[in-house]
Amino acid sequence: MMKEKYGFLPRRLSRQEVALAPSNWVRVLSHYSYRRRRALWEKKPGYHTLLAGAIAAIAKKNRGLIDIAAELTTDNVPRYVHLTLVSSVLRCLGEKDEGLRMIRKAAELDRSPATLLSLAADTDDLDERESLAREVLNSNPKDSEALRQLAYSRYFKGDREGAERLIDEVLLQEPANIHALEFKGNVYFDKEEYAKALEQYLQIKIRPVPVSLQFKICRCYYLLGMVRKARRIAKKIKDKITCAYDIEGGIEPAKELLAKILSSSQ
């Protein structure tokens, strides 16, 4: 019976599979073996089974794994938790519309900060993102994720100075916040301040280093004329870039830039 319930879960994930994941999932994926063990201890497939299935689906790029986990756990996990976690995986796998419908249902059932901010992160409506962030900040003005979502909305509405102030506020509270550091690096990159962007990216302490972040670092080195360092990273990621999630600027432009770096004579 146990084999039938849990046989769909891979035994382990490779460091390369973890590094290909979106940066916000890397630390979660790194703890897959623990989540899998917790799943095996569950008398009925529950939260840990669902989470292990979610992690495996993202790492293996296999929707079937989350579908199995979702079916096994649908009666054993609170509905809003079930919807939130499955929707997160679907968004990673490119099923954005379906994932958005699910997280909206979750937010109707539960108005906790975690659920509201999951919806904020997924919506393309900047006004909605800002409204959800403010709803969380009304009860906790220092919530770092809400501040980051508000900063995102402000930035893409054109208030870049306001966005930077919000991110600086997050970093004042949490100097090692990987998402705020990456956001700050992106802001500097957009302003063509590549040295400052690189400084932010290099402060991000996460292992394994996501391929998407390695690409950003590589790109900064190249634009700063540090071609040897750029080439060293490009060699490592050139065969992985097409399989990585959330590559800044898209896969094809990234491949072209890596090819240009590798062919550079400097």
Q: Is residue 228 part of a domain?
A: no
- What integer pLDDT is reported at residue 6 of this predicted model? 80
Q: Is residue 62 part of a domain?
A: yes
- What integer pLDDT is reported at residue 24 of this predicted model? 87
Q: Which residue has the tokens 């419908």?
A: 101
Whether residues 49 and 134 share a domain: the answer is no
Whether residues 104 and 12 share a domain: the answer is yes
The answer to whether 257 touches 233, Cβ cutoff 8 Å, is: no
Taking the C-alpha atoms of residue 126 and residue 37, their distance in angstroms, rounded to an integer, is: 40
The answer to whether 69 touches 49, Cβ cutoff 8 Å, is: yes
Taking the C-alpha atoms of residue 131 and residue 142, their distance in angstroms, rounded to an integer, is: 16
Tell me phi and psi for residue 176, to 5 degrees.
Answer: -100, 10
- What integer pLDDT is reported at residue 3 of this predicted model? 54
Taking the C-alpha atoms of residue 122 and residue 107, their distance in angstroms, rounded to an integer, is: 12
Q: Is residue 70 part of a domain?
A: yes
Cα–Cα distances in angstroms (integers) from residue 90 to residues 98, 99, 114, 189, in the given order:
7, 5, 17, 29
Residue 8: exposed, middle, or buried by beta-carbon count in 10 A (0-12, 13-18, 19+)? middle
Q: Is residue 189 part of a domain?
A: no
Whether residues 104 and 115 share a domain: the answer is no
Whether residues 93 and 124 share a domain: the answer is no
CB atoms within 10 A of CB 168: 14
Predicted TM-score (pTM) above 0.75:
yes
Whether residues 105 and 121 share a domain: the answer is no
The last residue of a domain, from among 125, 141, 173 = 173
Whether residues 148 and 70 share a domain: the answer is no
Q: Is residue 65 part of a domain?
A: yes
Whether residues 97 and 42 share a domain: the answer is yes
Tell me phi and psi for residue 44, to 5 degrees.
Answer: -125, 145
Q: Is residue 242 part of a domain?
A: no
Along the chain (266 residues), what's the average pLDDT of each consecutive run of 10 residues?
73 94 91 95 94 96 96 96 96 93 96 95 94 96 96 95 95 94 95 97 94 96 96 95 87 93 82
Whether residues 128 and 58 share a domain: the answer is no
For residue 157, give the CATH number of its domain: 1.25.40.10
Whether residues 132 and 83 share a domain: the answer is no
Which tokens go with 82? Answer: 């079930």
- What integer pLDDT is reported at residue 249 of this predicted model? 83
Enumerate residues 6+ apart whose C-beta is below 8 A from 121: 129, 149
- What integer pLDDT is reported at residue 5 of this predicted model? 74
Whether residues 74 and 57 share a domain: the answer is yes
Taking the C-alpha atoms of residue 219 and residue 51, their distance in angstroms, rounded to an integer, is: 34
The answer to whether 163 touches 148, Cβ cutoff 8 Å, is: no
Q: Is residue 191 part of a domain?
A: no
Q: What is the total residue count of the chain? A: 266
The last residue of a domain, from among 120, 138, 173 = 173
Q: State the residue range of the domain holding 14.
A: 1-110
Whether residues 14 and 80 share a domain: the answer is yes
- What integer pLDDT is reported at residue 4 of this predicted model? 62
The last residue of a domain, from among 110, 132, 149 = 110
C-alpha angle with apex 24: 23 to 25, nearest 5 degrees?
Answer: 90
Whether residues 148 and 57 share a domain: the answer is no
What is the total count of domains within the chain? Answer: 2
Closest to 241 measured CA to CA, from 228, 226, 252, 229? 252
Taking the C-alpha atoms of residue 5 and residue 48, their distance in angstroms, rounded to an integer, is: 13
